[in-house]
Structure 1
């Protein structure tokens, strides 16, 4: 057996272990974990784009190093806080919508149970269930009030069981924004370089940061990691190129 075949056999063995009945029972019985990856990617990409856009725009406009640092860090803190607050509010709205939908479904089940049973019936009829099997599904679900409500939330409202915490999401977004957003400013802080050297060093660091964020996203979501890295690099680089172009074409107006 080749090394590649051994790797494949091991992977299949691990999958079989994970799909033993007791493992499946334990896994499905746990509460879904809140995913922080989207919060991190959101903050990291926007942080790097924000500060590198300032670097690119300032270089295109011919601004000095001190202007880059002042504008860069001022926007880094202000925009990072703004994005964290926005994400906090967005997650809070999601939770409020879920709570409101839960109240509505609980009230409807109490007032018009037959109508709610018919909704369950039609939901699973659309999934292809018929006859006695469909009747048993409806009976089983509607016999458990919590299961009934959760099924309606998922099927009618598209609300996930995953519970995101507003404060946690906001903090992840903020620190990712600050951490990744500082990277393009490092050449202006740590290196005794001239203006062009500082800018091109910032370009390299920003490109590596965009690519690394994409790689991490690809690994977490089992995507093609190089393609994910390249895609994030293109999107981030495109935003920075626009900022450079604006600064370059407007520099004569502010000279």
Structure 2
């Protein structure tokens, strides 16, 4: 690397203790993606309800009831689904772990050959390759973890299903409540309530997208706008659906 590009922060982050600390922060503690998913979906869900209710000509009371009912039900459903998905990953990993342990016990030479070919494909050969194979296969736990990672592409640690579900539900409810707040301001008419709800929803979409962009080292403004457009499109479809159905049902009646 060019010395001009080296910074004190970059050098500090590559010191032995910093590297060790970073490697300890595994995906088990990372529920950021679950929170982002829950937040976006929560805001889309409730604001879509508000948009559809206003488009259909319903009152703020109806929008609040439908909004909170969907907020709790959908948030819980999404959290349970996320829990089941992560639990299924863990169960699948445990199944493969037991399978590999059994294979190592029954056909160790065959499993050693798998390790040998895996690292041969990485460019190792001769004595160096044999030393790697000997080192890995000398420890059954290391051997199994190596096979899970290299043969099946599974990481050593996955995030807790409970933590993932909780992060999803909390973010879903917290962010999803924001677009409903203006509906409680009875001094405003339904159109002004919808306007303020739209502004708050837009702020939430942009904020979540910006935070996501910052976290994954992408342009913050671009990421915020992208999420805003995605959420806004969903809300627009909901408003249009409510408006069209309301007018169709009135004309049909």
TM over 0.5, shorter chain: yes
Residue 212 of structure 1: CA displacement? 0.4
Note if 1:224 corresponds to 2:219. yes
Change (3 A) 1:155 1:183: same
Note if 1:147 corresponds to 2:142. yes
Contact 2:83–2:165 (Cα < 8 Å) also in 1: yes
Unaligned runs of 5+ in 2: none
Contact 1:184–1:206 (Cα < 8 Å) also in 2: yes
Q: Partners of 1:18 and 1:84 in 2: how far apart?
A: 35
Choose which of 10, 15, 20 in structure 2 pairs with 1:15: 10
Tell me which residue corresponds to 1:84.
Answer: 79
Residue 223 of structure 1: CA displacement? 1.7
Q: Partners of 2:73 and 2:215 in 1: how far apart?
A: 29
Choose which of 58, 61, 76 in structure 2 pairs with 1:63: 58
Note if 1:52 corresponds to 2:74. no
Describe the superposition over 1:57-115 as per-residue Cα deviations: whole angstroms up to 9, x where unpaired: 11111111111011101101111111111111111111111111111111111111111
TM-score normalized by the length of structure 1: 0.90
Contact 1:32–1:161 (Cα < 8 Å) also in 2: no
Choose which of 96, 99, 108 in structure 2 pairs with 1:101: 96
Tell me which residue corresponds to 1:4.
Answer: none
Note if 1:127 corresponds to 2:138. no
Choose which of 205, 208, 224 in structure 2 pairs with 1:210: 205
Q: Partners of 2:197 and 2:47 in 1: how far apart?
A: 7
Q: Partners of 1:129 and 1:151 in 2: how far apart?
A: 16
Contact 1:60–1:245 (Cα < 8 Å) also in 2: yes
Describe the superposition over 1:141-164 as per-residue Cα deviations: whole angstroms up to 9, x where unpaired: 111211111111111121112331
Change (3 A) 1:171 1:55: same
For the aligned residue pairs, the C-alpha RMSD in angstroms reads: 2.0
